[in-house]
Structure 1
Amino acid sequence: MPPAIDAPCTYLSDWVSTKLRWSLTVDRAERDTLRQLATGCKSTDVEFERVKPTRPALLGFIPAVCWPRSGLTGPAGR
């Protein structure tokens, strides 16, 4: 979390709006942590505009530089 006293609520708002905007998932642990951290953010609004996909994502298109350097060059070792 950001060290500035007034920054955590803005940071959390930005985090949640990014998740909502891009329809990203949240696991239970992340959800619980976000809820706990947001208890002190009573007057913080979360604003977002959902992104509408224009075409299906191509998993094979992800460049090799995005993958960890574990010998993998793409999805499932391709």
Structure 2
Amino acid sequence: MDFKAATDILTRRITADEIADAAGVSISSIARARLDPASSAYRSPPEDWETVLARLARERTEDFKELAEQLENQAQARRP
């Protein structure tokens, strides 16, 4: 793995599109749920949003763990 590939993984974020897909709602629903509740365009977050976001966070955590292991193995292989 090279530096660019590793930093691409580290800087990749979870997008509103991914959240909408995981929650089974539209992107506009996610956008409106992120607004200030005082806004007339505000809508409540999707049902079970905590579980959805927790799952996405755990998936990303696994990506980071895998990256860390690959980089550590790669660094150890280069050491004399």
Instruction: Give the alignment's TM-score, normalised by structure 2.
Output: 0.25
More helix by share: 2
